[in-house]
Amino acid sequence: MKISKKNLTPAQYLVFGYFIIIMLGSILLMLPVATTDGQGLGAIDAVFTATSATCVTGLIVVNTKEAFTHFGSTVIMLLIQIGGLGIMSMSTLFAFIIGKKISLKERLIIQEDLNQYQISGMVRLVQYLLGFTFAIEGTAAVILFFRLVEDYPAGRAIYLAIFHAVSAFNNAGFDLFGNSLENFTGDITINFVIMALIILGGIGFGVMVEAYNRVRFKKSTLQTKIVLVITLALLIFGFIVFFVLEYDNTLAGLPLLDKILGAMFLSVTPRTAGFNTVATGALKQSSLFIIIILMFIGASPGSTGGGIKTTTFGVMLVTLKNMITGKEDMEVYNRRFEKKIVYEAFTITMLAAGLVVLVTTLLLVIEDFQFIDVLFETVSAFGTVGLSTGITGELSDISRVLITITMFAGRVGPLTLALAFGERVRKGKYHYPTEKVMVG
């Protein structure tokens, strides 16, 4: 495949764009000023951390609080913001600042970056995206400041509030407390602010635009309906399951309200956030398996989260229902979607599952960890979640490279990555005869 700047596709622009940001971040994290020991991170750990931040994952090989200086943590925060919003959204912001017009090529890349089907309205969508992001992060930071100033000096409280507002809204999961949010299991303010940021960041900017314009559910787009219904269903399902499974385990000994908060947070964080208020490694294997499923599904298109996306999962559910009921058209909410969408959903799911199986198998060959821990780590990396049972820091260099690649693929998207390095779609000049194949 011959690649030159002039014939790069939008998918290739995105892949190379994220790669460049990660490399720049890695160089900054390798500087002596970035770490508390004055030596900077090693090359592999720097690339791992920069990838985890840019891909808004949150997996760490060193403790963020202890290993990084103010400069280092600020670099991580900026990488999170760039990675969460998307490199094209940030590029558009700078274009707005200097008064540069957005070209058609740039609009196509924005369309790819934000997982949109229509090119019209891309610049307006980015304007909404930037406005929503800074408004939500700013509001959350103010609320977090008034809570954290009770425990920290004002200057430190401001920085912590901003860092965690950015990290939570972008579904990154990086923290500066040293043990995620385990010290705040029963803290209503911290729990609800972080959960709200995670949900808003992972629900998709298109949905937020419709909500801002006060579009009623009945008149909203099919995508918005699927996103809201699937998201709500997964949150309720997760809460019930975790409340039951962990009631006498990680939630044991807590007051009823704290148990409820803990179960709610466990349900929200697999939306690709990576924060935890109870020790992930102490969860039952049944809970870990449910979290793996939730992490694999992930957030919604056009959001700061990863996974195969709620709409992909929704399309597959609709397809399953319609196949069972004998409907030829893929119908839901008095609308139908093209079969091409079904093919895309199937392709994304199979590519994602294939990547998870491959990386999990390689890690099992290389490392000596429990299967559930390795699978959990791999899916967490692909879904850009950042939850871990505690094995990340113990991985060998080759395993860290594999997880780094998985995080990158999860953020860019398996289909986008395949399109970037595959051949461009070409329509055949003729069709072969049709023949039936028995399945099932």
pLDDT digits (tens, 9 = 90+) for 348-388: 999 999 999 999 999 999 999 999 999 999 999 999 999 99
Residue 333's identity, in one-letter code, is: Y
Query: Residue 326 has what pLDDT?
Result: 80
Contact predicate 286/188, CB 8 Å:
no
Please check whether residue 2 lies inside any domain of the structure.
no
Beta bridge partners of 181: 179
Secondary element (H or E) of residue 320 = helix 310-325
Phi-psi category of 22—alpha, beta or left, where left has phi over 0 and alpha has psi -120 to 50?
alpha
Indicate the pLDDT class of residue 124, thresholds 50, 70 and 90: confident
Residue 97 has pLDDT above 60, yes or no: no
Q: Lowest-pLDDT range, 96-105, 229-238, 425-434?
A: 96-105
Please check whether residue 79 lies inside any domain of the structure.
yes
Query: Residue 339 has what pLDDT?
Result: 81
Which stretches within 35-103 are classed as H helix? 43-54, 64-67, 70-85, 87-98
Secondary element (H or E) of residue 127 = helix 122-148
Please check whether residue 430 lies inside any domain of the structure.
no
Listed in sequence order, the residues at least 6 apart from 389 whose beta carbon sits closer than 8 Å to its beta carbon are: 280, 281, 283, 288, 372, 373, 376, 377
Residue with more model confidence, 374 or 83: 374
Query: Residue 116 has what pLDDT?
Result: 58
Please check whether residue 286 lies inside any domain of the structure.
yes
Indicate the pLDDT class of residue 13, thresholds 50, 70 and 90: confident
Average pLDDT over residues 239-260: 95
Average pLDDT over residues 127-149: 92
Distance CA 247, CA 251 (A): 5
What DSSP designation does 69 have? -
Beta bridge partners of 275: none
Average pLDDT over residues 6-29: 83
Residue with more model confidence, 18 or 100: 18
Residue 115 has pLDDT above 70, yes or no: no
Query: Residue 1 has what pLDDT?
Result: 44
Distance CA 352, CA 409 (A): 9
Listed in sequence order, the residues at least 6 apart from 230 whose beta carbon sits closer than 8 Å to its beta carbon are: 297, 310, 311, 313, 314, 317
Residue 102 has pLDDT above 50, yes or no: yes
What DSSP designation does 153 have? -
Residue with more model confidence, 414 or 273: 273
Cα R_g (the chain), whole angstroms: 22
Listed in sequence order, the residues at least 6 apart from 291 whose beta carbon sits closer than 8 Å to its beta carbon are: 266, 270, 283, 376, 387
Secondary element (H or E) of residue 335 = strand 335-337
The beta-strand segments (E) located in 204-303 are: none
Please check whether residue 223 lies inside any domain of the structure.
yes
Query: Residue 321 has what pLDDT?
Result: 86
Domain coverage including residue 151 = 10-419
Contact predicate 368/431, CB 8 Å:
no
Residue 39 has pLDDT above 50, yes or no: yes
Please check whether residue 383 lies inside any domain of the structure.
yes
In order of 415, 417, 418, the CA distances from 427 in angstroms are 19, 21, 18
User: Looking at the 3D structure of the chain, how many domains does it have?
Assistant: 1
Contact predicate 431/395, CB 8 Å:
no
Query: Residue 128 has what pLDDT?
Result: 78
In order of 103, 267, 276, 285, 428, the CA distances from 292 in angstroms are 40, 12, 15, 10, 40
Please check whether residue 440 lies inside any domain of the structure.
no
Residue 152 has pLDDT above 50, yes or no: yes
Phi-psi category of 328—alpha, beta or left, where left has phi over 0 and alpha has psi -120 to 50?
alpha
Helix (H, G, I), strand (E, B) or coil at 119: coil
Average pLDDT over residues 257-266: 96
Distance CA 347, CA 316 (A): 11
Secondary element (H or E) of residue 375 = helix 371-382
